[in-house]
Structure 1
Amino acid sequence: MTLLDYPFPLTVALSSLLNSVIYAIPLTKILHIKHVKLNRTYIIRTILPISLGKALAVTSAYASLSEVAVSYAQTVKATMPIFTVVVARIILGEKQSSKIYVSLIPIIFGVILASMTELAFDSYGLFWGLFSTLLYSFMNFMTKKVFDNTKMHPIALLSLTSQIAATIIFPVWFVKNSRLVWLSFDEQNRTYHSPDLNFIFLIGLSGILSFLQNLCAFSLIHQLTTLSYAVSNCAKRIAVIILSIVALKNPVTELNVIGMLITILGVFYYNRIKNKERHRTMSEPFFRNRKPRVFEYGSLKSTNSDVRLILDARI
């Protein structure tokens, strides 16, 4: 909604990262999260690439939203399993089962159908959406590596990477977007709404809701099974698509909606197959006695497996 009247994706991206920092830092104090000291080499080799990826991914996601409808953007984001399989193959040399590859077919078909029938289709919006999803796939693998190698709490990692990502984006924003924002106040150069109190309210609300979404995800995982969480994630995506069509009046066709639904059902099938394979792997002797590390969230606790699940189902 913010980008409809105020086409400043870089400004919204920077605001999103700053909001994450603003809310994460006091939360680490409230939950008494221990500070983990990382050496400079680890920060440069691991944390910095994650932060750079985060900066590019967030910016690309908002750039995509500024060009295409929310419903279509959500469909493009559903391609995450495809990139996850590709990245796992490239980085880890990991081969998937035939069922996993089969589950990707409806996702690919659904996105193609949705793209071909999208009334407000924009090639740049599609590119930035796919690029953002690809980056998030790489980031997921890197983030899991941090959880395995350190005792850093997820919220602490969110705060640290958001700080670095915001620092990376700020110079680019100052050179690119700050001038556009300034010119928008000039009546002669104005082609869209200039930033005002409503703009500040919208980006602030967007940041709060984004942060609360992450917290809700960590809370819900304690009440739901892995499969139930995957179902709820698909339901959330359907709700966002329906809400965008109704509230924002995004133009859609019947084939467009069918393509979106096929994609989401494909993601659900992928999550279901992945869940079965995960349980099968954990039941093997090598994993049977392995105790997962626990993260505390006040009165709630999450294991590293829970964190991985949220990363896999994210976006």
Structure 2
Amino acid sequence: MLTTTTTRLLEPAELDAARAVLDREPVANAFVASRVAVAGLDPWRLGGELWGWYAGGRLTSLCYAGANLVPVCATPEAVRGFAERARRAGRRCSSIVGPAEPTAELWSLLEPAWGPAREVRARQPLMVTTSVPAAVEPDPLVRRIRKDEMDLIMPACVAMFTEEVGVSPLAGDGGLLYQARVAELVGGGRSFARVENGEVVFKAEIGAATPQACQIQGVWVAPEHRGRGLSETGLAAVLQYALREVAPVVSLYVNDFNTVARAAYRRVGFREVGAFMSVLF
């Protein structure tokens, strides 16, 4: 029988304890760790709640509950506690994302109440690298997108998101939240693109970022420019920025069925170290 006696919303004074949990797996936890680094534990600034699982009175596992539901260093007992809390609260997220094993268990407990999902991506290899391989020359035309170039980058971002997720990010609120996120990345100097004749032909972002690790996301090549090797040289350029200016370890995760992308990432030096899982609503 599920119990909620050892799960609760974290209090501000527990920030150091939360960071200690996040630091146990800095690559896998980069998304939540980056949010906590900026916003602390304040739900309004964090964009969601951070739940804690306590064993013997000590914080051992976390779960971020915002636009995504993300288990963090979650033991089987913690997953059951988080699932019960999430079930009682009702679904407020658009996806469940995290390390494959605890995410699969979390979804198995929530599916009777929250299902069916629009799509379940059961295995998304998590890949990392700490260097740019000499075999791939970084594209010298890949550059940071400026704050005054939002109109240039947004169509490419929308196209990538729609192709990757299966729905447009402009649905619902007209894209206000998505546009704000893109603007945040552009403003932080973490949005990159190759522009030819006023058109974005390659783009990628450095999304989650902490001093320990960062995550590249949104890798996309315009359909009419695919087959030119732009994803590899472009990614090498972004990787160069990331390693030099952001963190010593760079990660990304990719759908297991996307064999072309996985091969390209391996050529740029990424290796598989685990797997994520995503449940999309």
With the length of structure 1 as denominator, give the TM-score of the two structures: 0.26
With the length of structure 2 as denominator, give the TM-score of the two structures: 0.28
Please state which structure has a larger fraction of its residues in strand: 2
Q: Does 1 or 2 have the higher relative contact order (CA < 8 Å, sep 6+)?
A: 1
The structure that has the greater radius of gyration is: 1
